[in-house]
């Protein structure tokens, strides 16, 4: 639960810093990620293509089956023209979450991925 709180705090900090994903260049990079990478095409079916949230279903060892959830996307502009995209699945009224921080180059290719939150 502590890790989920740190993920939520980081996400809120990015949004509070004006980094909620309104930059046209950030959106272009996110569009290229969804269109031009295997991971992007896989996640395009699950996560919104613009900053925001949609209802979804998650499963895994930590959920004990499929459960209703919310899947969300946010992004911010990072150093060296990188775009930091946050993909989050949250369930149990927001008390459980998995978040992936995807660091994208300007052309939409993946520089690195970091996962936080509930295992499974």
Spacing of C-alpha 97 from chain mean position: 11
In angstroms, rounded to a whole number, what is the distance separating the alpha carbons of residues 47 and 49? Answer: 6
Angle at 55 (CA atoms; ends 91, 66), nearest 5 degrees: 50
Span 86-90, average pLDDT = 96
49 φ/ψ angles, rounded to the nearest 5 degrees: -85, -5
- Using a cut of 0.75, tell me whether the model's pTM lies above it: yes
Could you tell me the strand order of the sheet in which 67-77 lies?
A: 52-58, 67-77, 83-91, 96-104, 110-117
pLDDT above 90: residue 87: yes
Give residue limits of the domains in the chain: 2-117
Task: In whole angstroms, give the CA distance from residue 29 to residue 9.
Answer: 24
- Give the tens place of pLDDT for each residue, 90-110: 998 888 899 999 999 999 999
């Amino acid at each position: 639960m502590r890790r989920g709180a740190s993920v939520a705090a980081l996400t809120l900090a990015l949004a509070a810093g004006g980094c909620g994903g309104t930059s046209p260049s950030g959106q272009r990079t996110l569009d290229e990620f969804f269109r031009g990478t295997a991971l992007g095409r896989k996640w395009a079916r699950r996560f919104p293509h613009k900053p925001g949230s949609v209802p979804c279903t998650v499963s895994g060892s930590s959920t004990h089956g499929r459960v209703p959830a919310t899947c969300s996307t946010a992004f911010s502009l990072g150093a060296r023209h990188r775009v930091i995209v946050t993909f989050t699945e949250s369930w149990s009224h927001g008390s459980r979450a998995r978040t992936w921080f995807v660091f994208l180059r300007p052309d939409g290719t993946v520089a690195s991925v970091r996962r936080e939150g509930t295992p499974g």
